[in-house]
Structure formats: structure tokens, C-alpha cells
Structure 1
Amino acid sequence: MIKSGLTIFADENMPALEPLFGHLGSLIRLPGRSMTPADLKQADILLVRSVTQVGEELLRDSKVKFVGTATIGTDHIDQNWLQQAGVGFASAPGCNAEAVVDYVLSVCFHLAGEQGFDLRDKTVGVVGEGNVGGRLVRRLRALGVQVLVCDPSKAREQGAKVVNSVELQTLLAQADIISLHTPLTHDGADPTWHLLGADQLAGLKADTILINTARGPVIDNQALLQIARQRRDLTLILDVWEQEPVVDPELAALCRIATPHIAGYSLDGKIRGSWMLYQAVSQWLGTEPEVSLKSVLPASAFSEVKLGQGADTLPLMQLLYDPHRDDRALRATLHLSPDERAKAFDQLRKSYPERREFATLSLSGDISSAQRTELSAVGFSLNMDR
């Protein structure tokens, strides 16, 4: 096993690599979407995000012995080939789960204000109760929201322990808000590619809000476009797209909020992903991790707010994240040619402004018990002794 002098190639958009990996050898950053076999011939370790397809085609001529992806999803990694080739592998499950939940709740609170509803009066359907979906379910239930869950594999494993577990068609027919949190799989017992096709989308009830922060092909985007043309009562929130990085401008135009695959793009989540890979590499090398997550997380620009009675949740959310900002940025690119649109999509991700998770904001002040319950459930840190 190599102990030092490693050559580490990494996606240029991954943060905190120098303090985490710099002491292990040389660190070379490359654009994740355009990595080639020639680029990686001298690599010992490869660190990527979701835009890099990793398998035999990319690595067969390299000496890579370890691959890490700083993402929850792994559909871009050919794990079978890595295993057969004797290449170590690690992902970062849960690294940006809090950020995705922040995004979904931000969207829901914004829509509640725009459409004049109380989230507690809605039934929310969560498809996939893994790292992200499970957190969303817990926060929604803490808010007092009725939640339906569809996760067939978890239902088989845990049976009645999965509260309000329903079949997909039941969820689609009964939920007012549907949020997708599945991995992208093409086979197995529960494939999710085009999980929502024309037949499933036709079963949505009137005035449904449909949110996808999972993977673009979980929804048949062509079928969704046809449905959206016909049913203007649907509210679409899409952060992921079937043909990324090329976004269908007509489908985006029919969305209430359209964003460039950034739901999980909090600084906290991205650094947490890098740090989780650092831990995995340390284990692979047989060494003890020396760098803590806290030491590489910078202080937040908004770390503490003192509240008074009647404090509203949405403005506090907006201190840290406003989904309409990302929506405006993506819409400004939709007039471009497909090639230029793809480049702009990646540039929006590469130059994404710093965004912190709700948990980094500490709230204090004299507020009601109901306010405390809501703010805590949303994800803020409460310090009511001050």
C-alpha cells in the first residue's frame, strides 16, 4: 500500500481538498465533466462528483487504486468494474442531505406564501426514505405535516415500522406535494429510471406540487412536458433534468422554480463530502485521520439572530437561501444554444455562491412555544437562554 507521495486527481469544484489531502502528495484539479483516460494515467487516487462517469472506459489505462465520489448517489460509478479491477471505492452518503432538505422546505414555504396555504394543511408524499427523504420526513412530521412515504425496499425490510407507507399510485393520487428522493437505478427489484412516466403523471391530483431533487431521469421529462402543457394547475419544481447539462427550455419555462442541480450545494454539504472521502482514504491507507470537519468549515456570515415575538420563518430561511435566486440564474441561460446552455449550466454550478445550512444559524430571543417548535423543526439551531 502506498503511504505517501500519492498523486491525487480531483474534480476542480470540490472544496477543502488542500487541507484534507495536500499532505498526502500532489493534488491536481480537473474539470469533472471532461476528464479523459489520458488525464488520469498517473493518478493513484481519483476524487469526483456526480458529473464524472467512472468505469473501465475512463480508468483502464490508469494506475488508480482508489476512487471516491463526494456525493450521495453512485449511479455514475461502475462499482462492479472497480471491484473486479481491485480499485477501492467510497461515496459520501448523507453529506449534503441537510442541504437538500433545506432546499425542499424553502420551496414549500415560498409556495405557501405565494399560493396562500398553510403547509400543515397539506399532505406531503415523500418517495424514497433514505438519507435525504428520511430527514425530510422527520422535519415535516415535527412541523405537524401529514406525510405519506413510498419506499418499497424499506417497506420490505422494516414492514409496519415504516409509518404511513403506501404504494406509489396511492401516494400520487393523495399527496398535495410530492418530493422525490430516490437513487437512479435501472434494474433490481425497484428500478427508478422513469419511475414517473406518462401513466403515473396522469394520476396526479389537481393542483399538485411536484418537486424533484433526486436525479433527472427518475421522471420521464418528455412525458412531464406533455402533461405540463395540458395541466397548468400543476406546480413543478425541478432541480435535476433528464439531459443534464442541457436543460429543456420549454420544460423549464413551465416550472415555477427551475434550478441547475444545486439543491445539495451548501458549502457545509460540499465540505462534508470532501471530509468523508478524506476519512475513507485514511482508512484505505491504514492511517488515522488527522483533520477534523470543524477545522475546515469556515464561520458563517449569519451565525446568530435575536428574535422578537411574531418572528416569521420565511425571512429567516431567506437569510441563508432563496431558491428564486438560482431560478433566475438558470432562466437567464435558456435562450442560448444547446451547447452554450450546457456550458452555462456547469458554470452556474462551478461558480455557485456560498450557501450555508439552516443549522448554522443560531436563534435566540423571547418567542412563543409554537414559534420555537416550528423554527427547530425547520432545522435552525435554538439558543433560547440568551
Structure 2
Amino acid sequence: MNKLNIVADENIPLLQEFFGELGRIRTYPGRSICAAQVRDADVLLVRSVTAVGAELLDHSAVQFVGTCTIGTDHLDVDYLQRRAISWSSAPGCNARSVVEYVLSALARVKPDWLDAEFGIVGCGNVGGLLYRQLRALGLPCKCYDPLLTGQQNPDLASLEQVLAAPVICLHAPLTTTGPYPSWHLLDAQVLQQLRPGTVLISAGRGGVIDNQALKKVLQRRRDLTVVLDVWEPEPGIDIDLLQLVDLGSPHIAGYSFDGKVAGTALIYQALCRHLGRQPEITVEQLANPQQGALGEIKLPSGDRQALLNSAIIAAYDICEDDHNLRQLLSMTTGRPEYFDQLRKNYRQRREFSHYPVSGVPATTEGAAIARDLALLGFPVVGYF
């Protein structure tokens, strides 16, 4: 087989390990990949920050585009189909990472979240996993997703009903056309009507919330608690809005090492299908930190809520990401570049499954807590 010319976002992990045998790989910052760089490429591998359409590909030799992400709003799919360019995304690859981000946010801004009712907007791979985990914990949920049926999700409700919940989690893809566009779904009117004390967590796409409207609402309503991982626009986020939200992060909710590697693996498999060959490499075969447990989490004494929060924060504390992003507030220049540097140099965050938990009491209540921890993905020492 002739070796391929592959152009890739430099932030995609394990590129050489997965794709090295298929061709020559050139990497660039994803946000700055340009037409000249892909002109002689056969394969383009991206993440969510690269807009892929006519401007980038019109005069290129690209025959396959892979995005190592769940979302596809950065791909002009109609254009790719017209040009007969094969493409693939990585649905579900980082869903667990995003759900763990939401749980860490809850542990920090609403530590009594086990007593809350949840509204979830968008119940695809991410929102669907969050919904299943919350329901498994016995928590009431209402979901808005006009693309699903009651058979697929028995807790479907109207958008108005979902936005009346005390905790709202946004996981809708960003769409501007079709019967259910999500762009600015939460506009000034909707935001102003949120019930007092609402917790709003946005970890899908920034444009689902009208960010300028949100800023104006938060300037008047300090009863709202807001966590933003995604912004409008990125990377040049509104510094005044960052000052008003309770927790902020640079679009890294899905940035666990596990989730990113899963995305690379899915696109490698898709490219092999495109080439008509069998995949020869799996994640398990690679010699990297993907395998094995990390440090054991020893729980203190406490009730169900306190112990779950302790485990979550010990495995992943969102406050570190918030602290790093807030360095923007002291900068007068270079803010967009710093936002992207935080993403490029993001620490190797691992998912809950790599953190064994010990110290769960050997009581009837302890057994129930162990079950809850296992539902969230933690290995529990001494149980099961």
C-alpha cells in the first residue's frame, strides 16, 4: 500500500502509534490549519477547533476527514458529501469524561446534588449517559431532546418543563438550521425566566447559550449559579462573563486522556475501513499509561453525599481548571492564545475507573454507597 500524506491536529494523542504505519504525519495547531498545509494531503485528522469545508479543502487531495470528537458542527458535511470525501467522527468517545466533569462541578457548586431534580437538554451520547447515571442513582430527571421518542427516553418533557428544573445540564449539539436549531436556545428571555437559585452547567457547545444575554442576566441576578466549559466565541472569550460565572474552564470537559485516546482509536478504525484493511492496532496493545490503576482514594467518614463528593473531587477537581482559566483576568494581551495553550498542554486527567476507592464502611449503608460509587465508575475495594 502506498504511504498516505496525513495532516493532523497536534493535540490528537497517540498519532504516531495509531497512524504512523499508514503514512507520513505532519501536525499543526488545529485552529490554524490552512489550505496550503492540506493541499497535498490524503487524510485530514482534526478536533473541534478546525473548520472543515470548501475554504480549507477546495484545492486539496484529501479523500478522508476524521474528527476525533463527538461533535460535527465544525464539519461542512454537505460539502464533504458533494466532493465524495469520506468522513467520520468519534461518537461517544469522551461521554464519560464530560459526565465526570458535570459531577465534579456539582460536588463544588451544589454539594447536596443528590437531593436535586435535573433537567437535561440534549440526550445523545453525553446527555444520555448523564441521564442514565442520575436515574441509576435514583434522581428525578426531565429531558428535552426532540430527536428522541418516549420509547427511547421515558422522561422526555417540553423545553419549558426541563428549564424549570433546579439543576440544568446542557449537552445539545450546535445547529443553526433544521426544525430544531439549538443556536441561542437559551436567549435573554429564557435565561431571565430561570427559577431562583437555578444551577446551569453548559458543557456542550458555547452557542447554545446567548453569551451576551447571559452576561446581562448575571449582572442583575446573582441567585443563579453558572458553570461554563464552552463559550461564545472561543478562544476569544468574554472576560466580563468569566468574572460573573461560578466556575469556568477552557472547553476541556471531554479532555480526559481516556476519552481523547478513545477518539483517536475510533478514527483509526474508520480510516482502516475506508482503506479496506483490517485495523492492526488497539488501545490495549499500546505501551502507554492507558492501563492500570492510579492512587487509591481513601474516604473519610461521612454520609452518602459527603462520601460521593469526596471520591469525585479526589479523582478530578474542576477547581484546578477554573483557577487556570482565571489567569486570563490578569492578562491584557494574549488571551486567545492562552486559552488554546491550556487545551494544548492540558494535564493527563484520568477517568474514575482508574481510582480504586477504599474506606467505605462495612455496613448496610456502606454497601449502598459502594454501589453508588461503582455506578459512577469507581472500583471499590472490599466490595463486589
Shorter-chain TM band:
over 0.9
Q: Deviations over 1:86-128 (max 9, x none)?
A: 1110000001100000000111112233xxxx22221110111
Q: Does 1:30 align with 2:28?
A: yes
| Contact 1:207–1:233 (Cα < 8 Å) also in 2 | yes
Superposition pairs of residues 1-386 of structure 1, within 5 angstroms: 3-113=1-111, 118-154=112-148, 158-173=149-164, 175-296=165-286, 298=289, 299=291, 302=294, 304-305=296-297, 310=302, 312-337=307-332, 340-363=334-357, 367=361, 368-382=366-380, 384=382
Q: Deviations over 1:60-95 (max 9, x none)?
A: 111011000001010000011111111110000001
In 2: Cα distance, 1:308 partner to 1:111 partner: 20
1:301 Cα deviation (Å)?
Answer: 6.3
Over 3 Å counting, the alpha-carbon distance change for 1:142 and 1:282 in structure 2 is same
RMSD (CA atoms) = 1.8
Residue type at the aligned position of 2:217: I
Unaligned runs of 5+ in 2: none
1:304 Cα deviation (Å)?
Answer: 4.3
Unaligned runs of 5+ in 1: none
In 1: Cα distance, 2:282 partner to 2:234 partner: 34
In 2: Cα distance, 1:83 partner to 1:51 partner: 21
In 2: Cα distance, 1:300 partner to 1:204 partner: 44
| Contact 1:128–1:181 (Cα < 8 Å) also in 2 | yes
Give identity over the alignment, percent. Answer: 47
Over 3 Å counting, the alpha-carbon distance change for 1:129 and 1:324 in structure 2 is same
1:307 Cα deviation (Å)?
Answer: 5.8
Residue type at the aligned position of 2:44: L
Over 3 Å counting, the alpha-carbon distance change for 1:324 and 1:282 in structure 2 is same
In 2: Cα distance, 1:300 partner to 1:229 partner: 46
Q: Which moved more, 1:287-296 or 1:32-41?
A: 287-296
- Secondary structure of the residue aligned to 1:38 is helix
- Secondary structure of the residue aligned to 1:159 is coil
Over 3 Å counting, the alpha-carbon distance change for 1:294 and 1:224 in structure 2 is same
Over 3 Å counting, the alpha-carbon distance change for 1:365 and 1:30 in structure 2 is same
| TM-score when normalising by structure 1 | 0.93
Q: Deviations over 1:10-65 (max 9, x none)?
A: 00010011110000111111110001111111111000000000011001111011
Q: What count of residue pairs does the alignment treat as equivalent?
A: 375
Over 3 Å counting, the alpha-carbon distance change for 1:103 and 1:286 in structure 2 is same
Over 3 Å counting, the alpha-carbon distance change for 1:238 and 1:309 in structure 2 is closer
